[in-house]
Chain A
Amino acid sequence: MKVLLIEDDKDVGGFICAELSAAGHSCVHKHNGEDGLREALCGGHDVLVVDRMLPLMDGLTVIKTLRDGGFASPIIVLSALADVDDRVRGLHSGADDYLTKPFSFVELLARLEVLHRRASTPAPNTITSLTVGDMHMDLLKQEVVRGETKITLQPREYKLLEYLMRHAGQVVTRAMLLEHVWGYHFDPQTNVIDVHVSRLRRKIDRGFDTELLLTVRGAGYSLGAQA
């Protein structure tokens, strides 16, 4: 995955680049809005990570300019502003995701990979079924079968499993689950998500030889692949 990072803070930028390289991705780092915009227009980047506050041209303007010009690659906005308003404005400007500083690198990486995968998988909406290992989900009938066993799920459990299956093999963080399965963006005080996931795990993994739903310590969960 080729990442273009537009971030004026040298420490944060350096850290993200180093971690991305360590995770096997390439990273180009630009320090201001104008340089970043020029670099992005040259093309060749899979995902953009853009800080909101940038010298010369602010992050949202960069994103708007790119989107107006038909730029299609996914973009994540980074921001030190924790206001809900800012989040909404960030997403309205054409960004695909929004992260508030301070964030953990795991969170950023998980989101980057999900965005990258989504962008590189053609027309995901036409899919009518999902398969991970021996588990099969029929999106039209809303049915889940593992091996020969039909699994009965509550509506929320179904949504949770669907999200996990759509991102099978990828690390999905708790914050991502809250945002996409529950539709809220907040910090739970306790392990509410873990309880939901372990319930789901009981239903889909109990009685089977291989565990499909794995916990990735310090990051989140992953369905069907060793992290």
Chain B
Amino acid sequence: MTTTTETTPAGGPAATDASPVRTAPRSAARRRRLYQWLFVAPAVLYLLAFFGFPLVRNILMSFQEFTPTTYFTGEAPFNGLDNWRAVFSNELFGDALWQTVLFTIGSLAGQFTIGLALAVFFTRRFPLSGVVRAVLLLPWLVPMVVSAVVWRRIMDEDHGVLNSFLKTLGLTGDGVPWLSSPSVALLSAVLVNIWIGIPFNMVILYGGLQEIPREVYEAAALDGAGPWRTFRSITLPMLRPVVTVVLVLGFMSTIKVLDLILALTGGGPADSTQTLGTMTYQLSFMQLDFGQGAVVGNVLILVSAVFAVLYLRVNRAQSGQGK
């Protein structure tokens, strides 16, 4: 975000010193530049208000004391590092951080592996391939809360269809406590999130696979390479830029998942599915301690910022390669 705040003023002066040499048409050129900026300015102001401002405001809020009466009195005095100390000494914070990591890595690994397998499968030519690929997008297009609600019913310990199915197969005697046991609930949330993310991974990886020229495969076949060898030494290396994009985008959207967990488990049982996202929500909007909520939110941003830097690096390296 710092970059946006940096570039806007950098764009501003551009209008004034656009042509320092030619002085005569200077005001006309300046007017034209100003006019052109009118196209861009509303969107930039909006982005600053809805992304830039919250980022700055959250940092400030993390040093302020908010109580349930703050919104009546309007008073939120600065309290130094009190919020930070309170959050870091909160046992839940460490758990939430660790569960966020598990949730994110588990989801990404599952979504990516299955998405890639499906993408490779769909490169075969067969009837109905296009239609099936299109319909497979549905889980990704349905609102996440809605999917979570449906899964909540499916994974119900006593009445859920998942357990009755497993019982019929004889895989479980009394049913798995998918959402009611602290040791299983996080895994269940990961499974549901994998289900949601597969289509997105599949579509992008499939697009990447289509870009690989057919001749490369023909050459490999002539050299006698088997399917696994071809996949490892041709498909994966040539797909690498797309793989990075998918993983980084997946990371940035998974680490902030909130809807899914709130509707599936509500962070429970026994806080076993609390993540940094749900903890921010509970601190700010349930306990009305916006200061501590801001602390957790800032940690969340810090983690994703590291990966955003990685993403942009890769993006730049990629466009460099393309040219």
- Chains A and B form a bound pair: no
